Chains A and B, each alone.
Chain A
Amino acid sequence: MSVLEIRDLHVSVDAEGGAREILRGVDLTVKSGETHAIMGPNGSGKSTLAYSIAGHPKYTITSGTVTLDGEDVLAMTVDERARAGMFLAMQYPVEVPGVSVSNFLRTSVTAIRGEAPKLRTWVKEMKGAMDALSMDPAFAERNVNEGFSGGEKKRHEILQMELLQPKIAILDETDSGLDVDALKVVSEGVNRVAASGEVGVLLITHYTRILRYIRPDFVHVFVDGRIVAEGGAELADELEAHGYDQYVKAAASA
């Protein structure tokens, strides 16, 4: 049982004319076995939340805390956070020329597990995970994210999540740019991980489309750097029907 606790998190970035505050007091608790959806309009700070928790150097935490099972996540380096059990599926994963997917995955799994997996079982494990995501075995020999289609990039992110078995998985707009078939495959991957009951999932999305395939336990509406409304899956249905307008207007007049 793991718990990610975010308390009064304030985050800013360097911009023209000085630091600009993007997160303005975020409170959120995610436990193993729970699936949370964070939904909000573009520019509301959803991705900033994801990257701040992962430790991207672009973002400065000005106040607040993030803990995983009581451990101070913000005091950890990026790789220490991952080894502690945090995972971020990125919206725009970068290319790493000359590094094969299989080399990358094995190096990563070795770092997370603390020892190199036995080659024989590893190859089987990787092939099995790729097969579950309908990925061609030849994919393993390609360079990381180089020339990948949008769908291939997202499948590759979910593949990593399944192999690394994190405690808390944050998925940043994993649904964006996917056709229905790819969306189904990716959603099945997320559901497999969630069904284990050992992973807390934080799904960041702009659209309700992915929530047809992944049923969240909690929905949080994110506007202007903070959570402005919370509810169960029914909140997503309401957003589908009415959009973000009422929340955006309420935040503007507040």
Chain B
Amino acid sequence: MTTIADSQVELAAPTGREEAWRFTPLRQLRGIHEQLNDPSQISIDVDAASGVSFTWADTATQAPTSGPTDWASSIARAATTRTAVVTIARDVEVDSPTVLAVTGGGIENPQVGHIVINAEPFSKATIVIDHGGSSTYSENVDINVGDGAQVTVLMVQTWSDDTVHLSRQHAVVGRDATFRSFVASFGGQVVRIVPTVEYTAPGGSAELLGAFFADAGQHLEHRSLVDHSVPHCRSNVMYKGALKGDPEAGAAGVAHTVWVGDVIIRAAAIGTETYEVNRNLVLTDAARADSVPNLEIETGEIAGAGHASATGRFDDEQLFYLQSRGIPADVATRLVVRGFFADVINRLNVPDWQLRLANIIDAELGLEGIEEGSDDE
């Protein structure tokens, strides 16, 4: 069996037999996992908050990533010529989010992109990478969280139905630094996101959060990896997903989600505390949720390590209970689904975007704008 640690560098294009690619519908990727024909640079519009600086840089001048790379991310990096660099200077704390709007340029020719976020020591900021439009897109994101810095990176995928999106996101977390990643995937035909984390010194903390909602014909895949190689760091992974397929539409109607949560605690990483959880809410037939937590522990001297995974159908007893209190079925369904996502969305410390994600989920349910009496107090 391939261990997590062995599978971090890919030297050839995947065939689908690899552990890391076994769930992915390679034939739908338009070849971008093998080679990039005539790639172009993706459009990125940046709205930098005051105190955050943004520049375009020659990708060749950027340091290579220290994180795990797969073949697709390697060839994407090689084909990228310009890097969007976001810098938060030392000691600067910024409350309002900096938004990078990534807009697809159509599905015909592949697009590539590279984003670097440098949070210098003791800085604090929120960065939103907001993906939309039609694209065949392969992306690399590198995040450096300096000592004592606090960084939240929210990646939102509200792509059009025909988009293919491969993304690798790697964070390097410094001493006593706090990194929070939130991946919110709703649109796209195939979306495969690989958020990875390493620590450079003790005291680091990483929270990897995710919310996703797959409709008929969508494949939404999230594979996180937290590599604990230094002592006394923490990680917490929570991904929650809903699936709503179309049972009338045959194979094309299946909603498919994949969550794989890898955590390695290496021999040196004493005092590690880690927990990961994935929950999936199946709203219809024609839905498939794969959920695989992997925990490799090479030292017994840890503070705690655990994982949980559960996939369950929408509970008709909940619906009956709410309806028996006069609440119409559509409002009741929305309450239950919002409730399901509440704990993960409440951990996103960006109120405007919390509300936006809740509204996107309502829209996915087809239940936006219905009457109700609960404006959140």
Contact = CB atoms under 8 A, between A and B. Distances in A.
Contact of A164 (B317, B320, B326, B340): B326
B325 A111 contact: yes
A78 B324 contact: yes
B322 A96 contact: yes
B340 A98 contact: yes
A12 interface: no
Nearest to A95: B318
B331 A111 contact: yes
A62 B233 CA distance: 63
B260 interface: no
A98 B343 CA distance: 7
Contacts of B336: 96, 99
B320 A78 contact: yes
A23 interface: no
Given A90-B321, A96-B321, A106 B374 contact: yes
B248 interface: no
Given A56-B320, A111-B373, A116-B373, A104 B340 contact: no
B78 interface: no
Contact of A107 (B324, B340, B343, B373): B373
Interface in A98-148: 98-99, 102-104, 106-112, 115-117, 119, 143
SS class of chain B's interface: helix, strand, loop or mixed?
helix
Contacts of B318: 94-96
- What's the interface size class on A, roughly? 35 or more
B65 interface: no
B316 interface: yes
A107 B335 contact: yes
A206 interface: no
B339 A143 contact: yes
Interface string A45-68: 000000000111100000000000
B328 interface: yes
A170 to B, nearest CB: 10
Contacts of B323: 55, 77-79, 82
Contact of A99 (B315, B316, B339): B339
B339 A83 contact: no
A242 B328 CA distance: 45
A44 interface: no
A98 B374 contact: no
Contacts of A55: 320, 323-324
B292 to A, nearest CB: 23
Nearest to B343: A98
Contact of A103 (B325, B341, B376): B376
A199 interface: no
Given A96-B322, A103-B374, A111 B327 contact: yes
Interface string B289-328: 0000000000000000000000000011110111111111
Contacts of A143: 339
Contacts of B340: 97-98
B317 A97 contact: no
Given A98-B343, A102-B377, A82 B325 contact: yes
A141 to B, nearest CB: 10
Interface of B: 315-318, 320-329, 331-332, 335-336, 338-343, 372-377
16 contacts: A77-B323, A94-B315, A96-B336, A97-B339, A97-B340, A98-B339, A98-B341, A98-B342, A98-B343, A99-B336, A107-B335, A107-B374, A108-B322, A111-B325, A112-B325, A143-B339
Given A96-B322, A111-B373, 5 more contacts: A57-B320, A96-B318, A98-B343, A110-B372, A119-B377
